[in-house]
Amino acid sequence: MARYLSLYLPFWGTDRLRRAIGLDVLPLEQALVLQGKVGSRRLVTAVDARAHQRGVRPGIAVAKAQVLIDGLEVRDAEVERDAEALEKLAVWALRLYSPVVAADTPDGLILDITGAAHLYGGEAALVSDMLRRLDALHITAYATVADSWGAAHALVRFAGKSSLIIAPGKSAEAILPLPVAALRLPAETVEELRLIGIDTIGELAAKPRAPLALRYGPDLWRRVDMAFGRLAEPIEPVHVPELISVERAFFEPIGAPDTLEKYTRRLTESLCLKLEEAGLGARRLDLHFVRVDSRIETISVGTAKPVRDVKRLSKLLVDKIETVEPGFGIDKMTLSAPLVEPLSFTQVATRFAAPGRPDVEDLWDTLSNRYGEGRLYRAVEVASDIPERSVRRIAPSAQGTGSSRNARYRRPARLYRPEPVQALAALPDHPPRAFTWRGQRYSVVCADGPERVKGEWWVSDTETGKVRDYYILEAATGERFWVFRAGDGEHTGTGSLNWYLHGKFD
What are the beta bridge partners of residue 76?
A: 35
Contact criterion met (CB below 8 Å) for 109 and 7? yes
Neighbours of 243 (CB within 10 A): 15
- What is the pLDDT, as a whole number, of residue 459? 84
User: Where do runs of H (alpha helix) occur along 97-179?
Assistant: 123-136, 149-158, 171-175
DSSP, residue by residue, 384-435: -SSGGGSEEEE-TT-------TTTTS---SEEEEEEEEEEE--TTTPPPSEE
In this structure, of 54-63, 283-292, 402-411, the range with the lowest mean pLDDT score is 402-411
Measure the CA–CA gap between 435 and 451, rounded to whole angstroms.
19
DSSP designation for 322: G
Task: Tell me how far CA of residue 269 lies from CA of 210, 264, 265, 313, in angstroms.
Answer: 53, 9, 6, 9
- What is the pLDDT, as a whole number, of residue 111? 93
Question: What are the pLDDT digits (tens) for 342-384?
Answer: 886 666 555 555 555 556 676 767 777 766 665 677 778 888 8
Helix (H, G, I), strand (E, B) or coil at 94: helix
- What is the pLDDT, as a whole number, of residue 357? 58
pLDDT at residue 275 greater than cutoff 60: yes
Task: Tell me how far CA of residue 190 lies from CA of 177, 186, 242, in angstroms.
Answer: 15, 6, 41
Measure the CA–CA gap between 389 and 453, rounded to whole angstroms.
13
Most confident of 7-21, 263-277, 374-388, 447-461: 263-277
In this structure, of 83-87, 318-322, 356-360, the range with the lowest mean pLDDT score is 356-360
Measure the CA–CA gap between 291 and 296, rounded to whole angstroms.
6
Of 368, 386, 355, 358, residue with least CA distance to 456? 386
Contact criterion met (CB below 8 Å) for 285 and 333? no
pLDDT at residue 272 greater than cutoff 70: yes
- What is the pLDDT, as a whole number, of residue 375? 65
CA 21 to chain centroid, in Å, comes to: 29
pLDDT at residue 76 greater than cutoff 80: yes
Question: What are the pLDDT digits (tens) for 208-217?
Answer: 999 998 988 8
Measure the CA–CA gap between 501 and 506, rounded to whole angstroms.
15
Pairing of strands 163-165, 142-146: parallel
Of 156, 18, 26, residue with least CA distance to 85? 18
**Of residues 154 and 234, more confidently modeled:** 154
Tell me the CB-side half-sphere exposure of residue 3, using CA atoms within 13 A. Answer: 22
Task: Tell me how far CA of residue 262 lies from CA of 247, 255, 257, 290, 295, in angstroms.
Answer: 14, 11, 9, 16, 21
Measure the CA–CA gap between 284 and 273, rounded to whole angstroms.
16
Contact criterion met (CB below 8 Å) for 201 and 178? yes
- What is the pLDDT, as a whole number, of residue 155? 95
Measure the CA–CA gap between 60 and 334, rounded to whole angstroms.
46
DSSP designation for 118: G
Pairing of strands 414-424, 434-437: antiparallel
- For helices 219-227 and 149-158, angle between their N-to-C axes, nearest 10 degrees: 90
Q: State the pLDDT confidence band at 23, using cuts at 50, 70 and 90.
A: low
pLDDT at residue 402 greater than cutoff 80: no
Length of the chain: 506
* pTM of the complete model beyond 0.85: no
